[in-house]
Structure 1
Amino acid sequence: MAFRLKIAALPLAAAILFAGAASAAELRPSTVVSGNTVTLGDLFTDAGDAANVIVADAPAPGAALDISVSRLSLAARRNGIAWRNTTSLTHVTVTRSGVAVPEAEVSAAIASAIAAQTPSLLSTTKLQIDYTTGTSGVQVGEEAERTVKVEQLAFNPRNGAFDAFVRAPANDLSAAPRRVSGRAYPVTDVPVLVRDIAPGDIVRAQDVQWIRLPSDRVSNNIVTTEGGLIGMSPRYPVRTGEPLRMSDMQPPVVVAKGATVDMNYVSGALTLLARGRALQSGAVGDTIDIVNPRSNRTVQGIVEGPNVVRIDTMGGSRIGELKS
């Protein structure tokens, strides 16, 4: 009788061991993978010898995929994983890790593709790329090259809308193309001031920074070069960050009205120097009137520097005016 009890106890012991195995494996409600596939070991704790069994392709880097629990339960049973759905899960979310391709790289590829497809765009045209989602969101695997290639492109030149499929990395034919969309439009880089400047102040190189504006907002009289600002002085008070018109700026005044100036006249070997009084203010290159205090006669001179003018005249009468 005792022998029979021992025999009967064996199935019960096996059942207890099996129950212990069933409780050992647990299904993760979410997991992160880094490779191209999803395995039972990614999804179950203590998957044992079945850990390397592939159950699905991984999503694109940075993307997520839902896998039904019924599918995973079947795969688990077929591969000897004893598991029970005690938490009533319906799906498992698998996210693939990735690193973002620099947005400048994505935008440059799209801008280049648009330019190649649109002959009306000048070769010097710069395109601003704005994405519908705010960012391109293109990612690659952690060890992959951070490059991108435009596979397909639809572009509407009237409103700038584009829809593109890009592959990342650029040369990885196994990488699924990813869709990005947004708007592309021509832009112009414009120099602006980093501080408020008043008339009489001279703009220095450190006072200038660049901003990018839609080209249709940049009229022909807007300053678009550093040379239009550096060394110049505003006619009116100007504010930080505002695009400036050419008419807003002028060379700095180096001769003030009423100032005593040196008048230089050179003609061949003849050089005459005299002092006069400026009747007008002027910047370098301006022509102003100067009165000779001795003769009380007025001549015109070209401003060459601070309180220095050059007299360009012909004839003895003018020379006499300068001598008098």
Structure 2
Amino acid sequence: MKAAYTFSAALIIALSTSCAFAAPVLRADISVVSPIVTVGDMFDDAGTLAEQPMFRAPRPGTTGTVDIDTIRAAAARAGFSEFASNGLSAVRVSRSAALVDETLLSSLISNDLRARGILSHGMQAQTMFASPVGTIEAAATDQPARLDGLRYLPGNSTFTARFILAGVDQPLTVSGTIDLMVDVPQLATSLPAGAILSEADIVMRPVSVRQADAQGIAHLDQLVGMSLNRQSREGMTLRIGDVSTPLTINKNDPVTIYFRQGPLTLTVKGQAITGASEGAPLQVLNLMSKRVISATAVAPGAVEVSTSGLTVAGL
């Protein structure tokens, strides 16, 4: 009985020891992000040795092979010699890459200009490279490219920029021009004179800041609810002089003329000789007396005659 107990205990110890020190298992094909291949990258069941470095990874975006003898030598340097090779003679090692292109580089330049206060709200930087920048494979990190320096001359719009690319030994230097752009309001469709503008009638499109400043471009809030002064075509850029306050009363509109003096209020039918917006003066014809008098537009179809210098007989 005692012998049986001793044998069982020894078997349990042997099994637990075998599980605790299970040999790492070699993988046939691995993909890494960092520049160093670790034991945990190369082997399953790497245990406490998982973070130990073995050898350098290939360049970002490339794949290489490592033969079994090189793996054995690297494993020995990492602190172990026994592993399950599964009959493999070599392992494929691929390194992930992040793609760096003109779009990413342009966004980094824009961010720098915005941080300097050169780009304000509603403005964009349109970057043109002197030579095309092909797609570059950098290390797959949170920041595959970093702007290391930017020289920008607003007078002639030229720039030179230097970038540091993750996993790439040499910095990247590019040059070209930067046009500062701003969104301006343009008509979304052709409209007749007198049309009242709504937001749906206006689209915002980018033009150069110099052009916008030279042409006196209007802001969106200066246009919505205003009246077009003339027939306008689709795509026309809107300026302050293109619009005016909508007419409350148009020429030839029938109106009611109000005359107030103390508790007395008189009304008479009339016809507008000229148009006017609310609060503006206009000429109206008193249809009863056939007199043309000056009045003020107070509402659609309603004008008011000032009591100053005018009597009931003057109506």
Task: Say yes or no: TM over 0.5.
Answer: yes
Unaligned runs of 5+ in 1: 1-25, 42-51, 84-93
Aligned twin of 1:35: 33
Aligned twin of 1:302: 296
Note if contact 1:221-1:246 (Cα within 8 Å) is conserved in structure 2: no
Any residues of structure 2 matched to 1:10-21 within 5 Å, and which?
none
Matched, 1:247 2:241: yes
Aligned twin of 1:111: 113
Number of equivalent positions: 266
Note if contact 1:222-1:245 (Cα within 8 Å) is conserved in structure 2: yes
Deviation by residue 1:104-149 (Cα, 9 ceiling, x = unmatched): 8524422135x36xxxx5967935141427889798765x546975
Note if contact 1:195-1:239 (Cα within 8 Å) is conserved in structure 2: yes
Q: Which amino acid aligns with 2:195?
A: D
Aligned twin of 2:160: 163
Deviation by residue 1:219-247 (Cα, 9 ceiling, x = unmatched): 46544222332122323222233212222
- Equivalent residue for 1:195, pick from 189, 192, 195: 189
Note if contact 2:248-2:299 (Cα within 8 Å) is conserved in structure 1: yes
Note if contact 1:262-1:276 (Cα within 8 Å) is conserved in structure 2: yes
Aligned twin of 1:260: 254
Q: Which amino acid aligns with 2:242?
A: D
Deviation by residue 1:185-234 (Cα, 9 ceiling, x = unmatched): 33332122222212233211222221221011124654422233212232
CA distance in 1, matches of 2:242, 2:296: 22
Any residues of structure 2 matched to 1:1-324 within 5 Å, and which?
34-37=32-35, 53-55=54-56, 58-59=59-60, 96-98=96-98, 103=104, 106-112=108-114, 115=116, 126-132=123-129, 144-145=141-142, 150-166=147-163, 179=173, 181-219=175-213, 222-266=216-260, 269-312=263-306, 314-317=308-311, 319-322=312-315
Note if contact 2:100-2:144 (Cα within 8 Å) is conserved in structure 1: no
Note if contact 2:97-2:139 (Cα within 8 Å) is conserved in structure 1: yes
CA distance in 2, matches of 1:145, 1:271: 77
Q: Which amino acid aligns with 2:114?
A: S
CA distance in 2, matches of 1:147, 1:40: 21
Note if contact 1:32-1:97 (Cα within 8 Å) is conserved in structure 2: no
Q: Say if 1:96 and 1:292 are closer, same or farther in 2 by CA, change over 3 A.
A: same
Q: Say if 1:204 and 1:55 are closer, same or farther in 2 by CA, change over 3 A.
A: same
Structure 2 counterpart SS, 1:255: coil
**Bigger mean CA deviation after superposition, 287-296 or 159-168:** 159-168
Identity %: 19
CA distance in 2, matches of 1:136, 1:314: 78
Q: Say if 1:55 and 1:124 are closer, same or farther in 2 by CA, change over 3 A.
A: closer
Q: Say if 1:168 and 1:56 are closer, same or farther in 2 by CA, change over 3 A.
A: closer
Unaligned runs of 5+ in 2: 1-27, 40-52, 73-87
Q: Which amino acid aligns with 1:98?
A: A
Structure 1 counterpart SS, 2:113: helix
Note if contact 2:195-2:228 (Cα within 8 Å) is conserved in structure 1: yes
Q: Say if 1:98 and 1:34 are closer, same or farther in 2 by CA, change over 3 A.
A: farther
CA distance in 2, matches of 1:97, 1:134: 21
Q: Say if 1:200 and 1:139 are closer, same or farther in 2 by CA, change over 3 A.
A: farther
Give the CA deviation at 1:270: 4.9
Aligned-pair RMSD on alpha carbons?
5.1
Structure 1 counterpart SS, 2:218: coil
Note if contact 2:273-2:282 (Cα within 8 Å) is conserved in structure 1: yes
CA distance in 1, matches of 2:135, 2:263: 74
TM-score between the two structures when normalised by the length of structure 2 = 0.61
Give the CA deviation at 1:297: 1.5
